[in-house]
Structure 1
Amino acid sequence: MSETNPFTADDADRFAIWEMLVRRDSDFFLSSDWSLVAADYVETGFLGIDAGLSLDPASWRPAYPNVALYRDAAIAARWNPADFAEPLRPAWFRCQSIARLDIEGDAALAHKHIEGRIRRPTGEDMLLGWRSVFHLKRESAVWKIAGFTGYLPL
């Protein structure tokens, strides 16, 4: 995927959700500037589930019972661009896609895939292969992330 939103402004909900889950999330991930995405999360009731690359729900855990814990973990997981042999921003966008986006009233599920390779200076590629299902809700006409089930195998 490129940095171009595949949805048009005529499909306002999907356009807005892509901007939130791909563009702004990438801007945050690449910079660790939480202010870029802080408004994209619900204030209460957030839950992030870590599936640990397993399809067996018995092995999943509620890793992020609130937004603050998720924020801190995401900032700590930031990658250093110097660890890659290609510009990280276009490589990261290339590895992302919204594979499915279901909207029902003020609720939505977005299936985000992270899949691909990013070159490293060692000559070996970093292999990426997981998906996350984002639980979204519309609050005051704005889509928000209410939680996710992440790190699922593809």
Structure 2
Amino acid sequence: MTDNSKKTTNDETNSTGAGEGPATGAKLSGEMLTAQLLALLKNWSGYGYELAKRLEETGYAGCNSGTLYRTLRQMEKSGLISSAWDTSRGGPARRMYSMTEAGNLFLDNWISLIDFHKKSLNMFLDASAMMLEASKSFQRSATGANREAEKPDNRGDEDDR
């Protein structure tokens, strides 16, 4: 019997964006990387190397250059960014990336979606904390009631004398 399950590489994560934790640098995958790149390009145009450095500065060091350039190519094919070769500086030509209007719309929608999920998660966490506190309070009161019930009742002994 062969194992046909998909094996993930270091750059892949599941659709929820789960990956390595903050101790080793957050991983970016799929639309999360796209949104982060668009946020970097919002008011600035940059080269792939500069984008990689800025990703690293913002805490997303888990993205290798192959993943970055594949994502940039896909974003350009999708119309989210545009690029042009810059030959104005000495040395080899470099590709300059800029966000398009479609990229701006994608980023705005992404931010709205993340904000909605953030609010939903905060409501869930608040409700969970309240339920946990109520449960602890109930356990404390139940434990206290049990202790009271276990205390010997000395009043009955005095009446018998």
TM-score, scaled relative to structure 2: 0.24
More strand by share: 1
Work out which structure has the larger RCO, using CA pairs closer than 8 Å and 6 or more positions apart in sequence: 1
More helix by share: 2
TM-score, scaled relative to structure 1: 0.24
When Rg is computed on C-alpha atoms for both structures, the one with the higher figure is 2
